[in-house]
Amino acid sequence: MKVLAINGSARKNNNTDILINCIFEKLNAAGIETEAVQFAGTVVTPCKACFACGGKENCIHQKDIFHAVFDKMKEADGIILGSPVYSANVSANMQAFLERAAVVCDMNSGLLTHKVGACVVSARRGGALNAVDAMNHFFLNHEMFIVGSTYWNMAYGQMPGDVLKDEEALSNMDNLAENMIWLLKKIEQEEEK
């Protein structure tokens, strides 16, 4: 079993990454393989609305990271979408990624069906719920199962590492990981029947 995390932050190895790694630690301890992709240092271009992806199962434009990441997404059993809050929503890279992934899924049905999804958000102060909603809407639109926790999956912090001081968020991430493990294992059992 494998979980892929896609991190929309413009900064490498920072707050969003810390949240993802909290979840990965528990997933790894449960024997689940993990991989993280970071968009930092790269630009995901928006959807060109060409609709040429029908029957291709991926975007036909291959000049940026999208194609490779979407291939990984199709292979994964679980997907974590992580974004910092930028202007009260997900980062522009995450938004561009979701636009393109959504069109590919619309034009090629069933690519993400029954995969497990969770999102994590880091924010300084405002807009975290908008970002959570944006990423959960993607999961909901593509027949995925969303995993929740005891609070929405957000953490507060501005400078690199600040989210480590948000103890409630960190324990929420642990719980999110437990729920993700539970659901992934149930689905695996069901598929083995």
Ligand X SMILES: Cc1cc2nc3c(=O)[nH]c(=O)nc-3n(C[C@H](O)[C@H](O)[C@H](O)COP(=O)(O)O)c2cc1C
> Contact residues for ligand X (CB under 6 A)?
9, 11, 14-16, 84-88, 122-127, 157-158, 160
Residue 158 neighbours by CB under 8 Å, 6+ apart: 124
Q: Which is nearer to ligand X, 39 or 138 (CB)?
A: 39
Q: Give the separation between CA 78 and CA 117, rounded to whole angstroms.
A: 6
Give min distance, CB of 126 to ligand X, in A.
5
* Amino acid identity, position 121: V
Give min distance, CB of 178 to ligand X, in A.
23
Q: Which is nearer to ligand X, 15 or 153 (CB)?
A: 15
Give min distance, CB of 164 to ligand X, in A.
11
Q: Which is nearer to ligand X, 9 or 136 (CB)?
A: 9
Give min distance, CB of 192 to ligand X, in A.
37
Q: Which is nearer to ligand X, 44 or 184 (CB)?
A: 44
Q: Which is nearer to ligand X, 22 or 123 (CB)?
A: 123
**Residue that has been written with the tokens 């993280």 in this structure:** 36
Using DSSP bridges, classify how beta strands 33-38 and 2-7 pair: parallel, antiparallel or unpaired. Answer: parallel
Give min distance, CB of 21 to ligand X, in A.
11
